[in-house]
Amino acid sequence: MPKGELETLLKKVRHAEPIPGFEDTWRQAETLQSPKRNTSLLPRRVLIPVAAAAILALLLVVGIQVALQSNGNDQILTVQNGIGDPSQSLARLTDMEPWTGKLDGLGTEWTFGFTTGENTENDAVDTSVMVASTSLPGDDMYESQTDFLLDLEIPTSIRAEERNRL
Work out how close the CB of 29 gets to another protein at its nearest, in angstroms, rounded to a whole number: 4
37 binds another protein (CB under 8 A): yes
DSSP 43: -
Q: How far apart are CA 89 and CA 120, in angstroms?
A: 12
User: Cα dihedral sign for 71, 74, 79, 84?
Assistant: negative
Stretch near another protein under the rule CB under 8 A, chosen from 20-28, 90-98, 104-112, 137-145: 20-28
Residue 41 binds another protein (CB under 8 A): no
Stretch that binds another protein, among 15-23, 81-89, 96-104, 112-120 (CB under 8 A): 15-23
Cβ-contact 111, 79 below 8 angstroms: no
Shortest CB 1 distance to another protein, Å: 4
Helices and strands in the chain, H and E counts: 8, 3
Instruction: Tell me the C-alpha distance between 88 and 82, whole Å.
Output: 12
Q: Binding of another protein at residue 36 (CB under 8 A)?
A: no
17 binds another protein (CB under 8 A): yes
For position 30 contacting another protein by CB under 8 A, the verdict is: yes
